[in-house]
Amino acid sequence: MADRLVSVGIDVGTTTTQVVFSHIMVEDLSSGFTVPRIEIVDKRIVYRGQIHFTPLLDDDAIDLAGVARIVEREYAQAGVAKDQLDTGAVVITGQTARRRNASEVLHHLSDYAGDFVVAVAGPRQEAVIAGRGAGADVYSKVHGSTAGNYDIGGGTSNFALFDQGRLAAASCLDIGGRLVQVDPATRRITAVVDKTARLAQFVGLDLAVGQPADLARLERLAEAMADLLAMSLGLLPKSAFYPQILTEPGRDVVLPRPLKNLSFSGGVADHVYAPPDGGDPFRYGDIGVLLGQAVRRSPALAQVHRFAAAETIRATVVGAGSHTVELSGSTIEYDADQLPLKSLPILKLSVAETANGALTAEAIQNKLDWFQVDGQRPAVAIAFAGPRSPSFAQAQDLAAGLLAGARDLLAAGHPLVVITENDLAKILGQSIRSRLPGRSGLVCVDAVRVEEGDYVDIGTPTAQGRVLPVVVKTLLFA
């Protein structure tokens, strides 16, 4: 029997704001003669909203009420009520993420959008979400190769590399179609972002607000941008300017394996794939069309096999709506009254630190202090790989260690949240419970991989209570 999770994706980007709804189909794939094995079997987009311009109040603030109105209208149009949602993600991407009220908007929207809708941001996570939305992960898997996706938006270009379906790298450059704005009526430049002005200067172009939009000159700028994208992929030697274009200083693109296939998504991507249509290049009031055409023409970028993205302008919102949630293992132990849990920081233990119960207890106690803020102990999730097929005695020992290590956490009234990679959550959970008679406050799940520095959201149960939806966030909005 298939279960259905209703999921929303909301993307508030530099240029556009979009909403999609999707159905995530969940099914028990076991024969019925083994332990259950519940997995996501299909993801279907059931509603694609319009593409709205992101409403801004002034240069540095998002129009929160305006965004809320857009979202509200899309919900109504789709016929979806907030309480019907099971999961989803709100992302604030590109330049918008750097606006002063971005955090406020994000949290407002994530509350507005439903109980278990997570707020995500951070340029590398954006890249991953867009790459999945564009289908680069699937492409790399089907072709047994590497596939990258460059999501070129209004303010940033986010790159994700997948190797046989698995994420291999992610990074971000400050390159986008809306970094230079042009008034389509007067054909004058109305805005230039600082870094872009510096880039123009570097390539010998004089660019300033108020100038007439000179096509040749702006094409030259777009070419310089395309060259920087090529440099990031090792297809051109890196210029002296290149380090400046990285969104996160020092976070250059690292390709652990050669890039064999490349797709493009984001608002600019349609102009990468389609030949020039003869229309006004400034019709969107920016240089997006020129940037797309420059990427299309770039001989350096043409060295890598180009494939069609499954989604272009909607890649990020589709990624947010369909590709952020995963499922826990199907034999787990939890107290439903503790759910959902939002944005728990991960306390990660190594294999050596969990070799036995005593070591586990010690490692937890040491690391718990890292999370202390102003003497307060926030809730955390304790994560480790865990033994493959542990013995009963091992499970007892680990359970005792976890409880001893998390003593202060429990004393502070927090639940004991344990996340393992290997299949042991049920026995571990029951072993913990046998030491916590009569007390609620346990969530023990497996088949989830998280790293130090990640945050995790755990949703309310699905598939007759057998699994929990989990969203791992690699970076939380600061």
Task: Decide if residue 250 touches another protein (CB under 8 A).
Answer: no
Task: Decide if residue 94 touches another protein (CB under 8 A).
Answer: no
Q: Which of residues 206-235 bind another protein (CB under 8 A)?
A: none
For another protein, give the closer residue by CB, 28 or 126: 28
CB of 160 to another protein, least distance (A): 16
Task: Decide if residue 431 touches another protein (CB under 8 A).
Answer: yes
β-strand partners of 416: 442
For another protein, give the closer residue by CB, 19 or 398: 398
Among 196, 293, 328, 331, binds another protein (CB under 8 A): 331
Using CA atoms, how far residue 118 sits from 115, 201, 414, 459, in Å, is 9, 40, 21, 10
| Chain mean position to CA 261 | 21
Q: Cα–Cα distance between 296 and 153 in angstroms, integer? A: 15
Binding marks (x or -) toward another protein, 146..185, rule CB under 8 A?
-----------------xx---------------------
Inter-residue contact 159 to 246 (CB < 8 Å) = no
CB of 262 to another protein, least distance (A): 16
Stretch that binds another protein, among 25-33, 66-74, 103-111, 405-413 (CB under 8 A): 25-33
For another protein, give the closer residue by CB, 29 or 412: 29
H or E element: which one contains 116? none
Dihedral sign from CA coordinates of 412, 469, 319, 420:
positive
Token pair for residue 402?
A: 């976890």
CB of 42 to another protein, least distance (A): 8
Beta-carbon contacts of 393 under 8 Å, excluding residues fewer than 6 positions away, are none
- The Cα angle at residue 325 between residues 378 and 96, in degrees rounded to 5: 75
Coil/strand/helix, residue 3? strand
Q: Which of residues 439-458 bind another protein (CB under 8 A)?
A: 449, 451
Q: For the purposes of burial, counting CB atoms within 10 Å of the CB of 243, is it exposed (0-12), middle (13-18) or buried (19 or more)?
A: exposed
Beta-carbon contacts of 60 under 8 Å, excluding residues fewer than 6 positions away, are 99, 100
Q: Cα–Cα distance between 436 and 27 in angstroms, integer? A: 33
Task: Decide if residue 429 touches another protein (CB under 8 A).
Answer: yes
Stretch that binds another protein, among 105-113, 117-125, 234-242, 419-427 (CB under 8 A): 419-427
Q: Which of residues 30-89 bind another protein (CB under 8 A)?
A: 30-37, 41
Q: Pick from 111, 95, 2, 11: which is nearest to 323 by CA?
A: 11
Q: Which of residues 366-385 bind another protein (CB under 8 A)?
A: 385
Stretch that binds another protein, among 29-37, 63-71, 179-187, 286-294 (CB under 8 A): 29-37
Task: Decide if residue 108 touches another protein (CB under 8 A).
Answer: no
Task: Decide if residue 29 touches another protein (CB under 8 A).
Answer: yes
Dihedral sign from CA coordinates of 258, 261, 266, 270:
positive
Stretch that binds another protein, among 103-111, 196-204, 427-435, 468-476 (CB under 8 A): 427-435
Q: Cα–Cα distance between 444 and 203 in angstroms, integer? A: 56
Coil/strand/helix, residue 454? coil
Task: Decide if residue 141 touches another protein (CB under 8 A).
Answer: yes
Identity at 17, one-letter amino acid code: T
For another protein, give the closer residue by CB, 201 or 391: 391
Among 288, 390, 405, 469, binds another protein (CB under 8 A): 390
Task: Decide if residue 143 touches another protein (CB under 8 A).
Answer: yes
Q: Pick from 385, 388, 386, 380: which is nearest to 405 by CA?
A: 380
Binding-residue total with another protein (CB under 8 A): 45
Query: How many of the other CB atoms lie within 10 Å of CB of 204?
Result: 8
Helix extents (H) in 48-135: 64-78, 102-112, 123-134
Stretch that binds another protein, among 117-125, 337-345, 360-368, 391-399 (CB under 8 A): 391-399
Interface with another protein (CB under 8 A): 2, 25, 27-37, 41, 141, 143-145, 163-164, 257, 331, 333, 385, 388-392, 394-395, 423-427, 429-431, 433-434, 449, 451, 464, 466
